[in-house]
Amino acid sequence: MKFHHIGVACKNIDEEIANISKIHTITKQTDKVIDAQQNAELLLLTLADGTNMELIAGKQVETFVKKNITYYHICFEVDDILAEIDRLVAEGAFLVSPPKPAVLFGNRLVAFLNVSYGLIELLNSN
């Protein structure tokens, strides 16, 4: 597993970009996408140090935002998403959302699991 991005829940993506740009230098920004399967509006930022930050707004994160919780998930890129899910579940993880294509990542498969330190997303490398 290789770190890919941190997921941040927000009410309004444009407002959050403005807030983040006061703190960090944003070097790249994808177009906003609507992902019906994820039930969310999404965008990926790259900061000057190379860190990727995914902004998520919509129904998917509504409960988090209402509670002022902005940390949503950490994403790891993996070579074999199914094998990694099996490995993590065997170690006590709980599969929250099985693999499905993610529009923001060129329809590569993503899955979400709850582990001891919170929600993680797995992003298939191909």
Say what the pLDDT of residue 126 is: 83
Taking CA atoms, 6 is separated from 35, 102, 122, in Å, by 18, 16, 12
Residue 89 in contact with residue 29, Cβ under 8 Å? no
Q: For residue 27, which of 48, 5, 56 has the smallest C-alpha distance?
A: 48
Listed in sequence order, the residues at least 6 apart from 12 whose beta carbon sits closer than 8 Å to its beta carbon are 57
**Chain mean pLDDT for the chain:** 96
Q: What's the pTM?
A: 0.93
Say what the pLDDT of residue 37 is: 84
**99-120: per-residue pLDDT in tens?**
999 999 999 999 999 999 999 9
**20-71: per-residue pLDDT in tens?**
999 999 999 999 999 988 889 999 999 999 999 999 999 989 999 999 999 9
